[in-house]
Every structure is written in structure tokens, then in C-alpha cells.
Amino acid sequence: MDTNELNPQQLQAVRHTEGPLMLVAGAGSGKTRAITFRILHMIRDKGIAPENILAITFTNKAAGEMRERVLGQMGEGGRAPWISTFHSLCLRLLRQHMEFSGYTKDFVIYDAQDQLSLVKKCMKAAQVNEEAFPPKTILNHISGFKNDYQLPEHIKLDALPYGHKLKAAHVYPHYQNALKENNALDFDDLLMMTVKLFKTNKELCDHYNDRFRYILVDEFQDTNLTQYHLIQLLSRAHHNVCVVGDDDQSIYRWRGANLENLLHFEKDFPGTTVIKLEENYRSTQTILNAAGAVVRQNAARREKNLWTRNESGEPILYYRAEDEIDEARAVCERIHQWVQDGASLNDIAILYRTNAQSRVLEDQLRHLGVTYQVIGGLKFYERKEIKDILSYLRVILNPNDSVSLKRIVNTPVRGIGKTSVDKIEAFCGEHHLNLLEGLRRAAEIVGAGPAKKIAQFVAMMDRFHQVAEDSSAVDLLKEVFEKTGYLTALQKENTQEAKSRLENLNELYSAVEQFVDIDRKGSLREFLDTTTLVADLDNLDDSRGVLALMTLHTCKGLEFDSVCIIGFENGLLPHASSLSSNDEYEEERRLCYVGFTRARKRLMVSNARRRRIYGSTFTYQPSDFINAIPREVMTMESSAPSMTASSSYSPSYASKSGGDEWSLPAGAPPPATDTGFAVGTKVLHPKFGSGVVVNREGSDGDMKVVVFFKGAGKKKLAVAHANLIVV
């Protein structure tokens, strides 16, 4: 290890191994290098056993990279410390110790889809109206409880005002019971149950305090309260915790991330040493200027001074497009040009606020013949055909999983309809049976026809169970493919869609093959675990020469030579849903900051005068974040302001910079100052509650506004009829 490669602050962090440490690491400040050296220093110079070190990262990809770097430096026979994400860590702990409070070790993990279907069922049972209380909103609130370590028994109903949160609090205990009946945990449970486990079992907690004597937590600014409790519990004997983070990069508030953890840490861990890494090694001065200019407008932040010795580099390119197609074209053509000039696709990324924005880009890239990879969006393991097959595997392992069972009982169609299943479910409720047991007694419950089909289904599942015991997971999968008739049904369809589904199933087969070591027991379960816990980012292959497309959230922790960020419009970035809350608006700024600081050399930003989103056209204003960038570090290009709407395909690097196009470009609608309901106005609606105007058209009598409501989403309303109250 050559400590000459470290600056004084990094070196100080590396040498500080005993007692609490907070490493405030600005973007691109050599954080990973410092962390890796620190672990190596602990193992090699301090003689600390790797087993005694626990490092928690944000993604599996980051964990893998850190493990590789540590092992790479240690040479032959080196053992790696335990490096994983919060969720994988908790899953591993729970698999070992979960046999308490009614769960077995074969519990499954429910993803968002499963959660939603379970929450709907609970809402029906609790007689909560799905119209007035969208299941998604209820689920979000329940998730919020779990992120704050509020168990159902902790919640004081009379302390909550009437509203969605109160309803969620009513549904919450039903939902937890239902999860337990299904022998299932959701994502948030993984964390919450682990904390509960350690709180109720002091001995076990002591055991792990002894085991993990040195703990490191990366991306600390994005931890929630439950995760914070976990860190406290795991370190209460030794306080050897090093947290690494940057408040400017906190972008998961909506998922329960709690910036205050940064403040609490210094109180809860007395004597914390704080070290700031402020020298940026990644980006040009220009890029840092722009990023700093945006994030500096936030009131709630620790002042820091990120600086670099790097040269100022190219100015930021700002392209103002006619519409989203023109925007995509300009960005993709520019990238094409960079590649022609010798850039590698590996070193370029296109970032956007919402997944839906990728589609237009993909069309353009295909057209230009550029190979690309979309990270995120519909995940592989969430595709219908994959989830169907996985549901079979899940039920085979865990017969209590009624959510999966209901999914497959008539997939592919085999004559077991909703009516029969409903009857059996009702029967199960009365007799305290799980759904599979109910199906076994179908003859007592439904008519002879359906009963026979159900009996066949149950017999098939029993055979699968036998196969699972006797043979490998690969054989089992083959068996499921064939005996369920799933493949045959798809082959018969003979459509393009069916073909692509078959391809996906093929891919699933290879994935299982790769994963499963034939003789190892329990490997099917491990495979299923990974299917719920891998992030899409974990599959980003940065060695294949492929352009990466992803959201601003996903890009955290990555870096590229050149970065393009599209959709800089008020309403998209910052997103409409953030306009009514200052905290959320500030998070959008940080999101922008994270995006900018991914770039080493080049940054391109863009927006569009008109944009189609989900069928309707929006004319958002250029983003305030663009206006915050100092003009001297930016070059503007614009499409020729077109007279006809259809001319957006014409060559369009027409008007170069200058002029006073900056804040109010041609083609934008006139500023709304007159009759009220300007973009950004907060309003109240009798049914949808509070929202923000994000778009406006027409005037006076027939004025229509698009309002973004929390929970209800975007609504287009006629002002004359909607009874909107301006707040």
C-alpha cells in the first residue's frame, strides 16, 4: 500500500480505526480509495481479522467492486471482510435466526407488486375504500412506518389526524398479519425485523457486536431511521463505526432516508472525529462550478468547499429542443459524434428523471446503430412471464405464499376461475387454512368440474415438490416449464410478444443454471433471494462498450467521461411532485447535483419546448436549475424556432448561443401573470386534496389546468368546473 497516493485528509481517515468517525466525502473526492485503503490498513497493519470487519454499501455492485479491490491488494489467500448492502446483510442474518415469532427460514421476500396485491386484499378485509384511499398511497405510508421503526403496536391511532396516514395505520396490522400468514417479508421488513430481532435478543446482539468489531457504512446520508438503529445496535459495545456520506447527495428522502441521521450521529456517538474530503479528482472546474451553483441554493446543507486542481475544460452544452424527439435526436447525434472522434461508449451516459423518458432515446439510438443498455425501468425479474415461473418456484418452497399461489393457480389458464378461488379463499378464512390446504379440499367447496381441475393442479404441485427434494433446481425449472404447459401456451400464441417472452424464459433458465451448483442444498432459495435483491444497476456491464441509459437516482456512485442529462424543465426536473414542498424541491436540486458530478470531462444538458407525456402535450418552462448555471460556463444551442409543428426533424443546430434566449426562449408560452393559476400555484381540490399547477392552457372561461396531486397524480381540470381553491 502506497500512502503517497493519498492526500492528508484521506490518510487521516485511513489511520483512524478506533472510535466513531464521520467522513464527509464530496462528490469525486476519492472516497472509495480512502475506504479501500482503510480496510487494507486495518487488516495488514493493525492485524484485524477480516471477519471482524463489516462494510455496508448501497448497491451489490458497489459491494462487489470494493471486495475485488480489497482482495486484489491482499494477494493470494486473502480473505475478504463481510461487504454487503443493508438488505442482503439483514436477509442473511434473518435466514439464520428467523425461527421466532411464527416465521420459518423459508420465508419469501415480497416485491412491490406482491406487496400491492396483499395490501389490496387487506384493505378489502378492513373495509377501506380503494377509491378514496389508493392502495399505493396506503402502502407508501406503511413503508414510512417501517422506515421509522414503528411497529404496528407502536402506533397511536388517536395521535394521527384524519387522512391517508391514519387509514394506513388501520391497515398496517392487517398487512403485517397477512405477511406472516404467507411466511413472507417485504423489503422494509428485512430491516425492521432485524432491528426487532436484536432489540429483543440481547445475547444475539452481543454476539454480533463481538463478531463485527469494525463497521463501515457508505452513503450514510441515504439511511433511514431503522437502518440507523441497526448501526447503533451492532456497534453499542465498541462504537467503532465509520460513516461515509455527503449531505448534498441525499436523494432518497421519499424512501425514508433521514438526513438528520448525520446530525444525530455526532450526538449518539460522542467523540466522533469528522474528516472532510473536499478535493475533487474527477470533474473539470466548469462542471463543478455548475453543480455547485445549483446545490448552493439549498438552505438545508452543510457549507462545504469542493475544489479541484483539474483544468476548466469544455463549457457545458445546453441544447434547447423543439420537442422530446428533437431533444433525443440532438443528444444521440452528439454522442455519435463523440464516438466518431474516439470516445468509448463505456464512458458515456444519458441520464433522465423518469424511466418513461428512455423510450424516445432508444428509438434514436437504434436508428443510429448505437448499442445501449437501459438500466432500470421494468426489471427483468418483474416481467410477467418471469414472475409467473418464479411464483411456481416460490410456492414449491413456501406453500404458505398465497400471493404467488393465486397468481399461478390459473396461469396458464386451466379452468380454475375467480369464482372458485374466491370460494376457497373464504373457506380458508373460516377454517384457518392456507390456500394450498384449501385447494386440497376443493371437492368439499366447489362443483365437480372445477374441483377436478383443482385436484390436477394440486397433484402437479405435489410432484414439483418431490422433484425439488430429489433433483437440482435446473431440473425443477425444466419440469415447471413443461408440466405447467407454460411454454406450450406461449409457443401456440406465435406472436412477437410471445417470442420475446420465450426468450426471457430462456434467459431465466441460463441464470438458474449459472447460479445453481448442482449438489448444493438450498440453492434454489438463494437464487430466489437474489431475484428480489439484485438491483438493475448490479447488472451494468461496464466492459462491453455499451452506452448506459438510466435515471438520475440510479447513477449515484458511478462516473463517466461524458454525461448527457435530458428533460431540464420545471415539472420534470424539478419534478412536478416536488413543487409544493420545499424539502422535496431541495432534493431535486441534489439530484441534479448528483447528475452533474458524475461527469469527468463533458456535460450536456437539454430540454424541450413541447413534450408529450402519457399522451398529452406539456409546455414546461426551462428548468430553474439551468438558469442557476453561470452563463460563462455554458454554451447554448437551440433548434430553429419552427413555424410548423412538423418541422422538428429538419437540421437544427441553427441558432448558436448569445442573444437573450436564456431564460425566456422563443416558442415558450407567455408567462402566466394575469388570471391566476400560474404554473406553481398551490391549489386545493374537494376530492384530490392539495396539489400544484404544473401546466395551463386556454384563458378565462375555458381555461384548463394540469394539477399534480399527491396520491392522485396529474389531473387535467377545467377551472370553471373544478372548484379549485387557491392556497
Partner DNA sequence: CCCGCGCCACATTGA
Partner DNA sequence: GTGGCGCGGG
Q: Which is nearer to DNA, 174 or 213 (CB)?
A: 174
Binding window for DNA (CB under 7 A); candidates: 94-102, 204-212, 410-418, 661-669: 410-418
- The yes or no reply on residue 500 touching DNA (CB under 7 A) is no
Question: For 229, what's the count of Cα atoms within 13 Å in the CB-facing half-sphere?
Answer: 18
- The yes or no reply on residue 154 touching DNA (CB under 7 A) is no
Show Cβ contacts of residue 686 under 8 Å, excluding neighbours closer than 6 positions: 723
Q: What residues from 199 to 228 belong to the interface with DNA (CB under 7 A)?
A: none
List 286, 289, 402, 577, residue binding DNA (CB under 7 A): 577
Q: Which residues of 613-639 are buried (b: 16+ CB within 10 A; e: fewer)?
A: beeeebbbbbbbbbebbeeebbebbbb
Is 446 near DNA (CB under 7 A)? yes
Q: Which is nearer to DNA, 48 or 361 (CB)?
A: 361
- Asked if 182 contacts 118 with a C-beta cutoff of 8 angstroms, the reply is yes
- In SS3 terms, 650-711 reads as CCCCCEECCCCCCCCCCCCCCCCCCCCCCCCCEEEECCCEEEEEEEEECCHHHCEEEEEECC
Task: State yes or no: residue 533 binds DNA (CB under 7 A).
Answer: yes
Catalytic residues: 31-32, 218-219, 249, 598
* Region near DNA per CB under 7 A, out of 13-21, 153-161, 443-451, 663-671: 443-451
Could you say whether residue 85 binds DNA (CB under 7 A)? yes
User: Between β-strands 214-217 and 241-245, what pairing exists: parallel, antiparallel or unpaired?
Assistant: parallel
**721: contact with DNA by CB under 7 A:** no
143 binds DNA (CB under 7 A): yes
Our finding on whether 689 is near DNA (CB under 7 A) is no
Nearest to 244 by CA among 84, 83, 70, 22: 22
**Nearer CB in complex with DNA: 577/642:** 577
Q: Any bridge partners for residue 455, and if so which? A: none
Determine if residue 354 is labeled as part of a ligand binding site: no
Q: Tell how far CA 94 is from the center of its chain.
A: 23
Distance from C-alpha of 603 to C-alpha of 564, rounded to nearest angstrom? 6
Cis before residue 574, ω within 30 degrees of 0?
yes
Q: Which residue stretch of 287-295, 390-398, 419-427, 621-629 sits at the interface with DNA (rule: CB under 7 A)? A: 419-427
Least gap, CB of 429 to DNA (angstroms): 18
Chosen residue from 416, 505, 540, 608 binding DNA by CB under 7 A: 416
Compute the distance between CA of residue 15 and CA of residue 55 in angstroms, rounded to an integer.
17
Confirm whether residue 25 is marked as ligand binding: yes
What CA–CA distance (Å, rounded) separates 691 from 683?
Answer: 5
CA 194 – CA 324 distance, rounded (Å):
46
Specify the stretch interacting with DNA by CB under 7 A; choose among 102-110, 260-268, 273-281, 550-558. Answer: 550-558
Stretch that binds DNA, among 236-244, 278-286, 471-479, 575-583 (CB under 7 A): 575-583
Does the footprint of DNA cover residue 554 (CB under 7 A)? yes
Residue whose CB is less far from DNA, 170 or 553: 553
Whole-number Å distance between alpha carbons of 88 and 223: 15
Least Å distance, CB 374 to DNA, is 10
Site string for DNA, 595-614 (x = CB under 7 A): -------------------x
Decide: is 117 part of the binding site for DNA (CB under 7 A).
Answer: yes
Q: Three cell numbers at 653?
A: 443546430
Q: Contacting DNA (CB under 7 A), which of 19, 64, 78, 134?
A: 134
Q: Which is nearer to DNA, 353 or 589 (CB)?
A: 353
Q: Give the chain's count of helices (H) and strands (E).
A: 27, 25
Out of 386, 390, 535, 679, name the contact with DNA by CB under 7 A.
Answer: 535
Grid look-up 446545490 returns 295
Closest CB to DNA among 631 and 716? 716
Q: Which is nearer to DNA, 397 or 421 (CB)?
A: 421
Q: Annotate each residue in 60-79 with x if it binds DNA (CB under 7 A) or - if it does not, as one string.
A: x-------------------
Name the residue among 141, 140, 144, 119 with its Cα closest to residue 130: 119
Task: Kindly state whether residue 415 participates in binding DNA, applying the rule CB under 7 A.
Answer: yes
Q: Does 483 bind DNA (CB under 7 A)?
A: no
Contact present, 388 and 407 (Cβ < 8 Å): yes
553, 589, 601, 602: residue in contact with DNA (rule CB under 7 A): 553
Which residue stretch of 71-79, 592-600, 668-676, 709-717 sits at the interface with DNA (rule: CB under 7 A)? 709-717
DSSP structure string for 518-552: TT-TTHHHHHHHHHHH--GGGG--TTS--EEEEET
Nearest alpha carbon to residue 96 among 106, 111, 84, 81? 106
Q: Per-residue string for binding with DNA, 421-440, x by CB under 7 A?
A: --x-----------------
> Is position 376 an interface residue for DNA (rule: CB under 7 A)?
yes
**CB closer to DNA, 248 vs 279:** 248
Q: Distance between CA atoms of 214 and 52, rounded to whole angstroms?
A: 6
By the rule CB under 7 A, 105 interacts with DNA = no
484 carries a ligand binding annotation: no
| In the complex, least distance from residue 697 CB atom to DNA, rounded to whole angstroms | 18
Whether residue 194 is annotated as binding a ligand: the answer is: no
Residue with C-alpha cell 443498455?
373
The length of the chain is 727
30 is in an annotated binding site: yes
Question: How many residues make contact with DNA (CB under 7 A)?
Answer: 53
Query: Is 179 near DNA (CB under 7 A)?
Result: no
In sequence order, which residues have a C-beta less than 8 Å from that of residue 475 and are 6 or more positions away? 467
H/E segment holding residue 107: none
List phi, psi (to 5°) of 101.
Answer: 45, 45
388 binds DNA (CB under 7 A): no
Q: Which stretch binds DNA (CB under 7 A): 6-14, 299-307, 323-331, 545-553?
A: 545-553
Span near DNA by CB under 7 A; candidates 163-171, 274-282, 412-420, 557-565: 412-420
Residue 696 bridge partners (DSSP): 705
| CA gap 231, 190 in Å, rounded | 14
The angle subtended at Cα 503 by Cα 500 and Cα 506, nearest 5°, is 155
Task: State which residue, 579 or 626, has the beta carbon closest to DNA.
Answer: 579
**Measured distance CA(409)–CA(417) in Å, rounded:** 9
- Which residue type, as a one-letter code, is found at position 177? N
CB-based contact 585:570 (threshold 8 Å): no
Cβ-based nearer residue to DNA, 14 or 416: 416
Strand 704-709: give its sheet, edge to edge.
713-718, 704-709, 689-697, 682-685, 725-726
Q: Is 250 in the site for DNA (CB under 7 A)?
A: no
Given 402, 551, 607, 623, the residue binding DNA (CB under 7 A): 551
Q: Specify the residue, 252 or 269, whose C-beta has the smaller distance to DNA.
A: 252
- Is there binding between residue 187 and DNA (CB under 7 A)? yes
Identify the CA nearest to 185 among candidates 400, 477, 408.
400
Residues 6+ apart with CB under 8 A from 337: none
Told to check if 59 binds DNA by CB under 7 A, we report: yes
Instruction: Please identify which residue in 105, 151, 180, 254 interacts with DNA, judged by CB under 7 A.
Output: 254
Q: Which of 200, 297, 312, 419 binds DNA (CB under 7 A)?
A: 419
Instruction: For the CB of residue 266, give the shortest distance to DNA in the complex, in Å.
Output: 27
Residues 316-355 that bind DNA (CB under 7 A): 353-355
The reply to whether 485 sits near DNA by the rule CB under 7 A is no
Report the binding-site residues for ATP: 25-32
| Site residues for DNA per CB under 7 A | 58-60, 85-87, 112, 117, 134, 136, 143, 187-188, 254-255, 353-356, 376, 379, 384, 410, 413-420, 423, 446-447, 449-450, 533, 535-537, 550-551, 553-554, 575, 577-578, 584, 614-615, 712-714
